[in-house]
Amino acid sequence: MAAKENSFDLVSQVDMQEVDNAVNQAIKEIRTRFDFKGSKSNITYDQEQITLVADDEFKLRNVIEILESRLVKRGISLKALKYGRIEKGAGDTVRQRADLVQGIDKERAKAITRLVKNSKLKVQANYQEDHLRISGKNRDDLQTVMRLIKEQDFDIPLQFINLRTL
């Protein structure tokens, strides 16, 4: 009888509906706050990128804080945002873009795979497009790998999904 294989997928996903909700709440707050009256501050979102616009860098900081607080309240990790540099915008404004990070890139996948191999546990990590599948015979080994991955900081939000125990 063949040994049974257990596995889970390690992914980096962002719930786009929750991001959309957070952006809409942040926009609503900016429009109603007294310190933003008469301001050109705004947030736009196009499913891949969030663009923040404000009158000056101080107001831009406030816009970012409002957005980040709304994202956190909706369970979105701030590691999912990669901010670009602050640019001059139209009409005496400043603008900053934030890309939403989805998926695990090859470099991070290599680092995670190295961590798994160095653990000396009897598990394998296979990179598949934008996620890792980690499999092994022993369920306890998989749980140990999950704990090892959680202890490291890979600068992106990571989730464990599709835990299959056979």
pLDDT attached to residue 2: 46
Mean pLDDT score, 108-114: 91
Mean pLDDT score, 110-135: 89
pLDDT attached to residue 166: 64
The CATH number of the structural domain formed by 6-13+104-164 is 3.30.70.860
Domain limits, the chain = 6-13+104-164, 16-100
pLDDT attached to residue 1: 37
The percent of the chain in helix, strand and coil, each rounded to the nearest 5, is 40, 30, 30
pTM of the model: 0.82
pLDDT digits (tens, 9 = 90+) for 154-165: 888 989 888 776
At the topology level, CATH places domain 16-100 in Alpha-Beta Plaits (3.30.70)
Nearest to 161 by CA among 119, 131, 127, 116: 131
Mode of pairing for the β-strands spanning 93-100 and 49-54: antiparallel
pLDDT attached to residue 82: 93
